[in-house]
Every structure is written in structure tokens, then in C-alpha cells.
Amino acid sequence: MRKIICLSVVLLILAGVGCATLSKTTLTKENQATLKGTWDGMADFRSGQMVGLTIVITNDAPPFKGNIKFSNIPASSPLFPGNFGGATTYAGPFDNGVISNKGTFVISGQAGNFGEFSLMGPTKLDGWLYLWGAHGSATLTKK
């Protein structure tokens, strides 16, 4: 009987560890410097339409400045108007990054491009964005 109880406890502990996820960290003045650096990952604009995404934040206080780059964009993708002229990358600077009243990182760019990201632990950003009318989600890891 003790073996069954012990085995049950061990299985419950393992199940709890396996289900653990990173919790959202609210961005504040105290931890906003965490954003500075290079964040790299993938953006999913539609099931099967994954593109590389890199955000480089060059300063540690609002307004945050840096560059955003999308790579490996399918040349024939109908996701974006004009398909970037057949280019497979799209990059540009931003100089208006802020921390929202919800504690998220927000950037906006030309033509209504927009992104909002939550800090998930010290090395992960998770969020959503619009790029030339296409809505996507993204997960980035700090390099």
C-alpha cells in the first residue's frame, strides 16, 4: 500500500513539473532594462506560414529604439500586399517602443505595423503583431 501511495505522489509531482509554464512578468521601470538586447524567434502568420523574426532593442528605457527584421518570407506568399516585391526579408527601425499600462512591450511602425509582447521570465517574449495587414503571433528568446 505504501508503494502505491509513494508512486502516486511521485507521479503527481512529475505531472506538475511537466505542466509548468513560464508565467508572465509585468514590465515596470524596475525591470524594463531586461528588454535591451537581441530577441530571436519565429512569427506565425497563418498555420504553415512561419517566418523568422529578430528584434534588436538598443536602449534600456522608453522610448525604446531598435530594429525589427522578418526573414525567410515565402517569395510567393499572398499574406502581405505586394509580397515585398518578391523579397524574402523585411527590416526597419523603430524608435517608439513603450511599456503599456498592462505591463507589455509595444512598438508601432509605418503603415499601421504594430506589435505587443509580454515578458515571460527573463529571456522570453511572447506576443502578437500586425505586418502590412497580416496578423501573427510570435515567440522570441533573448540571445
Share of the chain above pLDDT 70, in %: 76
Average pLDDT over residues 43-47: 82
Average pLDDT over residues 126-141: 91
Q: What is the CA radius of gyration of the chain?
A: 19
Threshold 0.75, pTM exceeds? yes
CA separation for the pair 130, 135 (Å, rounded): 5
Per the listing, cell 527573463 goes with 122
Nearest CA to 42 out of 143, 107, 130, 136 is that of 136
CA separation for the pair 79, 129 (Å, rounded): 14
22-142 maps to which CATH number? 2.40.128.20
Higher model confidence: residue 138 or residue 111? 138
How high is the pLDDT of residue 28?
A: 95
Q: What value does the mean pLDDT of the chain take? A: 82
Per the listing, cell 516585391 goes with 85
How high is the pLDDT of residue 95?
A: 93
pLDDT tens, 80-124?
665 566 778 888 899 999 999 999 999 987 777 899 999 999 999
Kindly list the distances between the CA atom of residue 106 and the CA atoms of 47, 95, 99, in Å, as whole numbers in the listed order: 24, 11, 6
pLDDT tens, 17-34?
434 456 899 999 999 999
Domain limits, the chain: 22-142
- Give me the residues paired with residue 55 across strands: 39, 68
User: Residue 68, exposed/middle/buried by CB under 10 A (0-12, 13-18, 19+)?
Assistant: buried
Residue type, 85: G
How high is the pLDDT of residue 8?
A: 45
Give the three cell numbers for residue 96.
517608439
